[in-house]
């Protein structure tokens, strides 16, 4: 009798675990998500964020290799902590938001590397230039939602972010650290 009781508990736990992620994540919760960046300016660390972004995804962490995701950032929504810098960074020399209002990332391959750890490969497009990007991503279940976090470094010169007098790296470094914390919601 004890063996049967234990077997039922194990089977019930397995059934609950398989049901907990029955549907893939289909949307993000912008109010619980963030896209930020950091870099060095004259040797001093500077941080900022983007206030507007959107995503399309279909991601089941248990079947990551079948996942699809695309992410779009409204570059004019940049918040550097300085209104003067915010006005400068949208100009032609930097993001040129008049001609290129959005940055876009499209995942091409998602692979699980360890429990709740993934490697994401895809294409990042900024200012009409597209480059390959690869980064680690972590998944943390939060009830029915999931938290997807990660970061990668991009070279601003690869996307001509900072032209003319800003093309050198003596004032603003070439390396820009991009960080994301995305709350994803399950589909119906």
Phi, psi of 19 (to 5 degrees): -80, -20
* Distance of alpha carbon 43 from alpha carbon 164, whole angstroms: 20
As a whole number of angstroms, the distance between CA 130 and CA 145 comes to 31
Mean pLDDT for the chain?
89
Residue 17 has pLDDT above 50, yes or no: no
**pLDDT value of residue 188:** 58
Q: Answer whether 59's CB lies under 8 Å from 25's CB.
A: yes
54: number of Cβ within 10 Å: 13
Average pLDDT over residues 164-179: 95
- DSSP H/E element including 9: helix 2-19
> In which band, very low, low, confident or very high, does the pLDDT at 159 lie, cut at 50, 70 and 90?
very high
In the chain, where the domains are located: 23-186
Neighbours of 113 (CB within 10 A): 11
The pLDDT value recorded for residue 22 is 52
pLDDT in the model for residue 61: 92
What pTM did the predictor assign? 0.85
pLDDT tens across 30-60, in order?
A: 999 999 999 999 999 999 999 999 999 999 9
CATH class assigned to 23-186? mainly beta
**6 pLDDT exceeds 70?**
no
Cβ atoms of 25 and 71 within 8 Å: the answer is: no
């Amino acid at each position: 009798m004890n063996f049967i009781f234990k077997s039922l508990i194990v089977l019930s736990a397995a059934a609950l675990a398989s049901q907990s992620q029955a549907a893939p994540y289909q949307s993000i919760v912008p109010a619980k998500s963030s896209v930020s960046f950091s870099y060095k300016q004259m040797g001093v660390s500077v941080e900022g964020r983007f206030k507007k972004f959107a995503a399309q995804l279909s991601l089941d962490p248990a079947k990551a290799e079948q996942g699809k995701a695309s992410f779009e950032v409204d570059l004019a929504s940049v918040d550097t902590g300085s209104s003067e810098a915010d006005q400068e960074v949208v100009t032609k020399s930097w993001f040129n938001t008049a001609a290129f209002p959005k940055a876009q990332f499209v995942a091409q391959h998602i692979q699980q590397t360890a429990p709740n750890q993934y490697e994401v490969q895809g294409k990042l497009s900024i200012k009409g230039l597209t480059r390959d990007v690869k980064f680690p991503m972590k998944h943390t279940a939060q009830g029915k939602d999931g938290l997807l976090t990660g970061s990668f470094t991009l070279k601003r010169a690869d996307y001509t972010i900072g032209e003319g007098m800003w093309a050198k790296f003596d004032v603003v470094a070439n390396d820009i650290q991009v960080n994301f914390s995305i709350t994803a919601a399950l589909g119906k």
